Structure 1
Amino acid sequence: MPTFFETFPIILVGGDGIARVDVPSRKAKSKYSVEQVGVIVELYSGELDGVISR
């Protein structure tokens, strides 16, 4: 896999409207992940422009 995907956040929005986010981290130990903390995602360009997901 290209290194681009090792450092770029990936956002997937399911049919149920729930955003699943993978924010890569090179640290061996991470206390929190985005899914544990919870996020609101608003996309500003592309096919999903203006979509807000919780």
Structure 2
Amino acid sequence: FKTIYNTILKEYQDFQKTYDGETRNGMVEEKQAEYNRIIAEQLENYKNYKTS
């Protein structure tokens, strides 16, 4: 379990670091819009797992 957790945590941290750098912490509107689209698409992939 810990190995899986650490892998997911690292992926999250890497994504967050890239996001912060590319969007300048959300200040670059064009890049922010791109990330909004990316995240919306990723969330859509998990909609079958949600509970009401």
Report 1 or 2 for greater relative contact order, CA contacts < 8 Å, sequence distance ≥ 6.
1
Would you call these one fold, judging by a TM-score over 0.5? no
TM range (shorter): under 0.3
Scaled by the length of structure 1, what TM-score is found?
A: 0.26
Give the strand-richer structure, 1 or 2: 1
| TM-score of the two chains, using structure 2 as the length reference | 0.27
Structure with the largest fraction of helix: 2
